Structure 1
């Protein structure tokens, strides 16, 4: 009877096979993310040598079967490493990338509005939100960008308008992408 109690407490102490497999797959997914990183960011993570070598080896592989086995090896090596700091760093890099993409989309929407028929409305909104904006310069750049587009010329003013918007609209405005843009 005491033996049964000891077995039950052992079973409860260790995670189920399903839970262990989920954890292993999660580690393998982190490993896949590591393989997609560039060398500079890999070095920044400060991975153990064996894990770093395995990741670099996986980057060189092109055969599906070999790559799959290498990913399993990386997952196995990840068990010996504290994955939480790596996961946090990957999340940070992923979020900053998403934020940067959202900002670029926001700037592109402003540029499109400035080049559209509703230019005056867009300029007045931009002037209200960002009082330091040089509205006259923006109007001229938008007008020239439209002319370039119609004449099939290189998009010099189109790019200049985007760069001007980058200067005016700060990186962390707190404005959601699409806010103020109908």
Structure 2
């Protein structure tokens, strides 16, 4: 008598991982590998890498413009990473991304401050001085007036750029 195929005991196993799940994990590791390949040498040095993985990443960076070879190299990096514990690598990449996001937020805040100074004048300068008392009020007002003059004359916003640089300098030194 033919019994129908019953594989329920196979799915009840706690260690069972579906083929789809394995493919998703492999794709995630390959994506992590691609992030590593796109990092600069300085940032890559901060990440704890196995020698074989580091060599594979350097090779991928060299052959980036070779489409098929680059794709295969990324797959190879994913294969190497499947054999390693990637928790430290993932944490280091997440920390780099966090630093990048923090830096972006800082610059966006400085841009908002600069725009507020350019639109509101002395009121915004006073607000900035309340947060950064070591800033030079005279220099801020001078850059504000120059920026207004350049804007009225339809000149390039050189003073606005200088204002941003000065704001960044003051904010980073605080």
Q: Structure 1 length normalisation: TM-score?
A: 0.77
Aligned equivalent of 1:98:
101
Deviation at 1:60, TM superposition (A): 1.8
Contact 1:114–1:139 (Cα < 8 Å) also in 2: no
Query: How far apart are the structure 2 equivalents of 1:171 and 1:17?
Result: 53
Structure 1: where are the runs of 5+ without partners? 173-182
Corresponding position: 1:66 with 2:46: no
Correspondence 1:25-174 to 2 at 5 A: 25-61=27-63, 62-116=65-119, 118-149=120-151, 150=153, 152=155, 155=158, 157-170=159-172
Structure 2: where are the runs of 5+ without partners? 1-5
Contact 2:48–2:89 (Cα < 8 Å) also in 1: no
Contact 1:51–1:77 (Cα < 8 Å) also in 2: yes
Q: Structure 2 length normalisation: TM-score?
A: 0.81
Aligned equivalent of 1:16:
18
Deviation at 1:171, TM superposition (A): 8.0
* Count of aligned pairs between the two proteins: 166
CA offsets 1:63-100 (integer angstroms, 9 cap, x no match): 32222111111100001222111111111111111111
RMSD of aligned C-alpha atoms? 2.7
